[in-house]
Amino acid sequence: MSYVNLKEVLRNTKNQKFAVGAFNFNGYEDVQGIVNAASHLNAPIIVAASMSVVRYFGLKQIVGLVRGIAEAVDIPVCLHLDHSTSVDLCKEAIVAGFGSVMIDASAKSYEDNIHDTVEVVQFARKYGASVEAEIGHVGGVEDNIVVSKEDALLTNPSDAQKFYEATKVDALAVAIGTAHGFYKKEPKIDFERLQTIRNLVPCHLVLHGGTGVPDKDFKRCVDCGMSKINVGTELKKVYTDTIRNQCAVVSRQEIDPKKLTKQVKTNIEDAVMKKIITFGSDDKI
Ligand code: 13P
């Protein structure tokens, strides 16, 4: 139906208490699997490209791919640039046709984070694109960037409020105890902190590091007003495990690459459908 910005795809999340999944992709098959899952369940969906995926595909190529797939279905699809540490890349992505970008200046000083975010917000407004920023610092491994436990910093609620007032960003990623990548033990989410932030900050809130978070914790985050939930590592594993399995079961005489890759679409679709149901975004278009 539509290729939309982040504001639009998250439009009903707060009043209807659900979250939209933002799923990172790494190839063609997983984009298809993610969008097909949402289409089967009548769910709004966010397809997220990391900086390494941008380097691998190219910005215009990504826009062509995702917009084309979005046009074939009857649900709102948002293409989002994930964790861009570069203001220039955010601007290039917006010009290329991304509906949403994340400027991640969370490793910089609070003032520089505000400065970079304001610059991207002002640029994005001219194009009707949405902007996400991060305050506090989510730990773990994202796109080969490692944020150690010592550097991970939970979001201070009053900083988040001031940050929103200064930037008027559309969505804010908050650090409340999750981390990017696989967990060594179950994450301990600070729901009280989330609730306080929710009461102070009017924009959409975003949970990063969705891989390995138990369903009950996702549901509690949604109850506390989380609007967007990011999942990346889990789908990477589904993708690579599927290819490895297919290599083992498909005859070595087979030369049709689709025989190896087709199953990726199905397995990604299954994994994403489960998350959509957990996040409560099924039948919400
Ligand atoms: P995971 O890789 O831990 O699922 O986190 C994804 C993410 O937050 C992308 O921004």
Which of ligand 1's atoms lies nearest the C-alpha of 179? 3
Q: Which residues contact 104 (CB under 8 A, 6 or more apart)?
A: 83, 84, 85, 133, 134, 173
CA of 49 to the centre of ligand 1 (A): 11
Q: End-to-end alpha-carbon separation of the chain, Å?
A: 10
Atom of ligand 1 nearest to the CA of 207: 8
- At residue 73, φ and ψ (nearest 5 deg) are -125, 170
Average pLDDT, the chain: 95
Structural domain includes residue 129: yes
- Residue to mutate, 231, 235, 239, 274, ligand 1, most ligand atoms under 8 Å from C-beta: 231
Task: Say what the pLDDT of residue 139 is.
Answer: 74
Indicate if the pLDDT at residue 44 is higher than 80: yes
Contacts 24+ apart (CB under 8 A), 184-189: 186/212, 186/214, 187/212, 187/213, 187/217, 189/213, 189/217, 189/220, 189/221
**Residue 142 has what pLDDT?**
77
Atom of ligand 1 nearest to the CA of 24: 9
Mark whether 190 is an active-site residue.
no
| Contacting residues for 63 by C-beta, under 8 A, at least 6 apart | 79, 96, 97, 98
Q: Of 11-15, 148-152, 255-259, where does mean pLDDT reach its minimum?
A: 148-152
pLDDT at 277 over 70: yes
**Cβ < 6 A, ligand 1 pocket:** 24, 82-83, 142, 180-181, 208-211, 230-234
Residue 255 lies in a domain: yes
Residue 149 — very low, low, confident or very high, per pLDDT cuts 50/70/90? low
- The pLDDT value given to residue 152: 66
285 in a domain, yes or no?
no
Nearest CA to ligand 1 atom 8: 208
Is 273 among the domain residues?
yes
Total count of domains within the chain? 1
- Candidates 134, 229, 233: which one to mutate for ligand 1, based on the most atoms within 8 Å of Cβ? 233
User: Which pLDDT value is given to residue 143?
Assistant: 79
Q: What is the tens place of the pLDDT at every residue in 188-199?
A: 999 999 999 999
pLDDT at 150 over 60: no
In a domain, residue 173? The reply is yes
Report the separation in Å between the CA atom of 96 and the middle of ligand 1, taken as the mean of its atom positions. Answer: 24
Percentage of the chain beyond pLDDT 90 is: 90
Q: Which of 44-48, 49-53, 186-190 has the lowest mean pLDDT?
A: 186-190
Report which ligand 1 atom has the smallest distance to the Cα of 178: 3
Pocket test for ligand 1, best of 230, 234, 237, 238 (most atoms within 8 A of CB): 230
Average pLDDT, stretch 41-65?
98
pLDDT value, residue 22: 98
Catalytic hit among 30, 82, 104, 116: 82
> Quick one: pLDDT band at residue 55, thresholds 50, 70, 90?
very high
Distance CA 281, CA 199 (A): 22
Q: What is the arithmetic mean of pLDDT over 41-46?
A: 98
In a domain, 218, yes or no: yes
Provide the domain limits for residue 125: 3-279
Distance 46 CA to ligand 1 centre (A): 13
Concatenated DSSP letters for 194-228? HHHHHHH--SEEEE---TT--HHHHHHHHHTTEEE
C-alpha of residue 181 to centroid of ligand 1, in Å: 6
**pTM, whole model, 2 decimals?**
0.96
CATH of the domain at 96: 3.20.20.70
Tens digits of per-residue pLDDT, 74-116?
999 999 999 999 999 999 999 999 999 999 999 999 999 999 9
Q: Which pLDDT band holds residue 228 (cuts at 50, 70, 90)? A: very high
**Minimum-distance ligand 1 atom for the alpha carbon of 210:** 4
% of the chain surpassing 70 pLDDT: 96
| 137 pLDDT above the threshold of 90 | no
Within a domain: residue 121?
Answer: yes
